[in-house]
Amino acid sequence: MEGTVRLDGKPLAGVEVHFAPMTPDLDSQSPPYSRDLTDDDGHFTLKSRNDRSGAVLGNYAVMVRPPSLRPEPGSPRPKTPLVPAVYRSLATTPLRIEVKVEQTVYDLDLKSKAK
């Protein structure tokens, strides 16, 4: 399962993409989260927390955010990609995806001024 993240039509490199299952209770029976970091072309290939490729079938809220990398002490903070705040939280993201058997590509088109 893969896709491309674009912001205002341009590939968004170096961001984390998180597919979070939309279930009433996130317990041990819930499908695992899936995520990846986009490459220079904004492309991602999802892996779940159990290191399997893709995502379990179902409905997901999708969060896109700058990577949570911490710089080494004393080194400059790396430049992080600009991601509008609305996409950086599961509580506010408008991105909803249904993962289906027959679909393997899920492109994400973000807008600077999300509604």
- CATH (domain of 51): 2.60.40
Q: Give the domain extent around 93.
A: 2-110
pLDDT of residue 32: 80
Please state the domain count of the chain.
1
Q: How far is CA 69 from CA 4, 15, 74, in A?
A: 21, 11, 14
Q: Report how far residue 4's alpha carbon sits from residue 87's, in angstroms, rounded to the nearest whole number.
A: 15
pLDDT of residue 79: 65
* Residue 6 placed within a domain: yes
Contact 17, 29 (CB under 8 A): no
Higher pLDDT, 54 or 7: 7
Instruction: Identify the CA nearest to 38 among candidates 58, 8, 65.
Output: 65
Higher pLDDT, 33 or 27: 33
* Residue 9 placed within a domain: yes
* Residue 115 placed within a domain: no
Q: What is the mean pLDDT of residues 96-107?
A: 94
Report, in angstroms and rounded to the nearest whole number, the Rg of the chain calculated over CA atoms: 14
- Number of neighbours of residue 47 by Cβ within 10 angstroms: 17
pLDDT-derived band at 74, boundaries 50, 70, 90: low
Higher pLDDT, 70 or 27: 70
* Residue 19 placed within a domain: yes
Main-chain phi, psi angles of 88, to 5 degrees: -85, 0
Helix (H) or strand (E) holding 75: none
pLDDT of residue 62: 96
pLDDT of residue 12: 95
pLDDT of residue 19: 95
Q: Report how far residue 86's alpha carbon sits from residue 113's, in angstroms, rounded to the nearest whole number.
A: 9
Higher pLDDT, 95 or 79: 95
